[in-house]
Structure 1
């Protein structure tokens, strides 16, 4: 069972790296926050998503992400992928305790790609 979960963890990380390379032309995805006094709406959303998920409100954070995402801004795509990488860094016990799974992380990534009309481009990665 541990081997299956490790495989899914690596698969999610590799998936996001592949998306970063194909869609954003980057080798890695890492949404970088500016100095706090320079935050914009997207930065505040990202911080809120991280805080919510860190406090175990993962489903609520994901719902907020899908409610607030602006699909005309690729910076928000990178922010969303960073959010899912953040979730993927949680241990299995934390995810399970908070009613979330690695499979749901993969589904969320697919959902964001669909929102940005990128699902056909990255479909082969799944």
Structure 2
């Protein structure tokens, strides 16, 4: 479980020069479009619509925009903090969390950091 958080923290340090993966509107990634998108993802997660949120995330990823990489890291770290029961109730699994983060890393050319 902590493997995902650890990987996300490494990426946050290497790519964003940050110590954590928390999406902060005061950070360098502040952008109204990204902030609105982040709120939409949070709303979907709070409604238990994890698959819908993940689909929306992948539709929006842009390898040229690291802001969305930060959002993806925040998304998967959030899911990583959920217990198995909560993930299961949302029709999601810990393996899907790891697989999703690995897919994001490939999209952003960071597959050398991929979770094994």
Tell me the TM-score normalised to structure 1 length: 0.80
Given the alignment of the two structures, is residue 73 of structure 1 paired with residue 65 of structure 2, yes or no? yes
Which structure 2 residue ranges, 5 or more long, are not aligned?
none
The structure with the greater share of residues assigned to helix is: 1
- Counterpart in the other structure of 1:33: 25
- 2:95 pairs with 103, 109, 124, which one? 103
Q: Which runs of 5+ in 1 are unaligned?
A: 1-8
Q: Which of residues 76, 81, 98 is equivalent to 1:84?
A: 76
Which structure would you say has the larger Rg?
Answer: 1
1:1-126 matches, cutoff 5 A? 9-33=1-25, 40-120=32-112, 122-123=113-114, 125-126=115-116
Which runs of structure 1 show a deviation greater than 3 angstroms over 4 or more consecutive aligned residues? none
Q: Is the 8 A contact 2:13 2:19 kept in 1?
A: yes
Measured on the aligned residues, the alpha-carbon RMSD in Å equals 1.8
Q: CA deviation at 1:26?
A: 2.2
User: Does the 8 Å CA contact 2:69/2:108 hold for their aligned counterparts?
Assistant: yes
